[in-house]
Amino acid sequence: KILVTGSLGQIGSELVTKMRGIYGSDHVIATDIRDNGSEVVTSGPFEILDVTDGAKMYELAKKYEVDTIVHLAALLSATAEKKPLLAWNLNMGGLVNALETARELNCQFFTPSSIGAFGPTTPKDQTPQDTIQRPTTMYGVNKVSGELLCDYYYTKFGVDTRGVRFPGLISYVAEPGGGTTDYAVEIYYEAIKNQSYTSYIDKGTYMDMMYMPDALQAIIDLMEADPSKLKHRNAFNITAMSFAPEEIATEIKKHIPHFEMSYQVDPARQAIADSWPNSIDASAAKEEWGFKADYNLEKMTIDMLDKLKIKLK
Ligand code: VAH
């Protein structure tokens, strides 16, 4: 059985549904800090959990006799930069609680890192799997600390910890909250609603991105991978594409010809984006557990616009 934290978030809301389809609804215990009455809450076991409450987390993991913990609850980069101490306490406090629960109950463990784990002194193009990581954001500090902590729990306590460095994730089910790459989600919603979008990230700003179906499959594939093949653990570079805002606009215009793109740069989130890689190298993930991505910008844009036309009707 699998305990998922942050189940109502951008990744969690879709991962819970996918995992319930694969492993059975009763085998996936969804938790989040609130109950939003969504399908995640109604289609299988759901519990209220604040991940900073370690005792409650242990109690739930024990009650459901889970053997896997997927820890997704966290504040993303832009929010973390506005509330750095809250971010440290939630992102690191939650992670330690989840790792301790996994250690005590001998659970397999997944938590995501991010391209945000890299900083301005990291090689920016085709960023290697093993390279310098001195991020200049609180979120990045949390992600690098998290990677090191997960590797520590693997080497010191034998906890089977695994993670990926996610690029910006694009999806239409649950909107992201407080990220820097959220512009790449908002643009599709605005294209349908207003045929225009004002981007807070400047043209020419390249960041790695991935469509949610590829992100979800990557989690499943990594967690089911043969551990003897894993030379790395926390966390694997993975990516599907790298693009700048004007490239999404061009792709959208193929479907909505009069779509208008404009720019009103948000210095805070632009500074975060500028500290991150332009493109990362995912060869370790491909070699060690067969990572692959099916969606490129063209295919993603077709699916996002099709799905949002229905959702926003
Ligand atoms: C963020 N979507 O923008 C997250 C992610 C790589 C980006 O970490 O903070």
| Tens-digit pLDDT profile for residues 239-268 | 999 999 999 999 999 999 999 999 999 999
pLDDT digits (tens, 9 = 90+) for 120-178: 999 999 999 999 999 999 999 999 999 999 999 999 999 999 999 999 999 999 988 89
- Give the phi and the psi of residue 108 in degrees, each rounded to 5: -70, 155
Query: What is d(CA 280, CA 293) in angstroms, rounded to the nearest whole number?
Result: 14
For 128, half-sphere exposure in the C-beta direction (CA atoms, 13 angstrom radius) is: 7
Residue 227: is its pLDDT beyond 90? yes
Listed residue (223, 222, 224, 228) closest to 282, CA to CA: 222
Q: ipTM value of the model?
A: 0.96
The count of other CB atoms within 10 Å of the CB of residue 264 is 8
- 182 C-alpha to center of ligand 1: Å? 8
Over residues 86-105, the mean pLDDT reads 98
pLDDT digits (tens, 9 = 90+) for 19-44: 999 999 999 999 999 999 999 999 99
**Active site positions, annotated:** 139
The finding on whether 179 has its CB within 6 A of some atom of ligand 1 is yes
Query: Does the pTM of the predicted model rise above 0.90?
Result: yes
Given ligand 1 and candidates 142, 180, 212, which is best to mutate, with the most ligand atoms within 8 Å of its CB? Answer: 180
The count of other CB atoms within 10 Å of the CB of residue 56 is 16
- pLDDT category at 7 given cuts 50, 70, 90 is very high
Percent of the chain with pLDDT over 70: 100
Query: What is residue 176's predicted lDDT score, i.e. its pLDDT?
Result: 83
Given ligand 1 and candidates 79, 169, 175, which is best to mutate, with the most ligand atoms within 8 Å of its CB? Answer: 169
Percent of the chain with pLDDT over 90: 99
**Residue 69, beta-bridge partner list:** 3, 109
Cβ atoms of 3 and 68 within 8 Å: the answer is yes
The finding on whether 181 has its CB within 6 A of some atom of ligand 1 is yes
The finding on whether 176 has its CB within 6 A of some atom of ligand 1 is yes
Residues 6+ apart with CB under 8 A from 4: 12, 15, 16, 19, 28, 29, 30, 31, 70, 72
Listed residue (1, 108, 12) closest to 51, CA to CA: 12
Residue identified by tokens 């024990």 is 62
Query: What is d(CA 214, CA 226) in angstroms, rounded to the nearest whole number?
Result: 20
- 174 C-alpha to center of ligand 1: Å? 15
Task: Please tell me the residue having the least CA distance from ligand 1 atom 4.
Answer: 179
- pLDDT category at 14 given cuts 50, 70, 90 is very high
- 11 C-alpha to center of ligand 1: Å? 11
Query: What is residue 11's predicted lDDT score, i.e. its pLDDT?
Result: 98
